Amino acid sequence: MKVLIAGGGTGGHINPGLAIAKYIREQQPHSEITFVGTQKGLETKLVPREGYKLETITVRGFKRKISFDTVVAVKELIQSFFEASKLIKRIKPDVVIGTGGYVCGPVLYVAAKKGIPTLIHESNAFPGVTNRILARYVDYVAISFKDSEKYFKQTAKLVHTGNPVRQELLNKNKADAKSKLDAVKGKPLIVVMGGSRGARKINETVAEMLNNYFKGEFNIIFSTGEQQFETINSSIKIDEKYKSLVKVVPYIYDVDKVYAASDLMVCRAGAITISELQTMGIPSILIPSPYVTANHQEHNARSLERDGGAVVILENELNAAALYTQICNLISNENLLSKMATNATKNRMLDSASKIYSLILSAYENKRKS
């Protein structure tokens, strides 16, 4: 089976596609899987790294205010439909899957109009405009939150699958993972991630915390995002005796290993992040991004908080002292951390990739019969 997966921009759009691709390949080892994204997204690094071919087309999102960029975006959108059509004609996929990002619009629309079996996966509780439009044309819409149902008119196409996460996240040994990361023994490991592109407020707050409050209480892996790495890394001036406890990196590629080793996560509340925390059973301090559509990250964060698996700090309430205090309060109470870890798994769905694969086969068989 030839599969084309469209998705890109951020890790939250790419990683579900990689999880789906891996499951397809496990079920059909001879399947041909190709990803399509843009030259500007994180997919240019993540997809080839996992051994899949990446094709690119030219497309960008629209800004809310009309400007010269809007004219360029319209031009690129028109161009993207021609590029998507040529790509699909050349690859001749048996099925096309969309996992989010602007690239999905032209690719899934063209595929659906050509009669190719299509499926989109919506990872967030509040679906994006692109997926709400595409829902009219594709065969199935896989949703991750039941709350998403009310935003789609095409209810017959909706299937609640959850968010697919990579199976490498499971069955990891914490002690082995910590050893491979050179974490100092006897101290908990805190992992800070602001998303694939970084989060300036989180980065600046953590840097201030390390400079002014940190006294070697824990190991910390601090992922800044590539764009902010140089600035943030150079701003951190900690005591020499604590440097072995602190690792500042632009991006975490071996995220499964880091998740396995983590005792507490400090991160945004994107849908995929929430699913990965649930899958691994990791206690977390969630700082939802206030810059996302319909404030959907706070909705995601509150759901995990209600389960007892997370503490939520809103960005406008975030400061170095408060974050340091919250981290120290949690890591000093092993029973509480253990309970949070258990609570985090309450609503996890471990068979998401399998459910999506079943939808792919169903769409494929239905088109063959028609």
**What does the block give as tokens for 33?**
């899987």
Pairing of strands 310-312, 246-249: unpaired
CA 185 – CA 66 distance, rounded (Å): 55
| Residue listed under structure tokens 């500007």 | 40
* Beta carbons of 97 and 40 less than 8 angstroms apart: no
From start to end of 123-245, where are the E strands?
140-143, 158-160, 189-193, 219-223
- Could you list the residues known to form a binding site, using ranges: 10-12, 124, 166, 196, 252, 297
**What does the block give as tokens for 250?**
């632009």
Q: What are phi and psi of 163, to 5 degrees?
A: -95, 125
| Distance in Å from the first CA to the final CA of the chain | 18
CA 302 – CA 283 distance, rounded (Å): 14
- Could you list the residues known to form a binding site for UDP-N-acetyl-alpha-D-glucosamine, using ranges: 10-12, 124, 166, 196, 252, 297
CA 136 – CA 138 distance, rounded (Å): 6
Amino acid at 17: G
**What does the block give as tokens for 340?**
């949070």
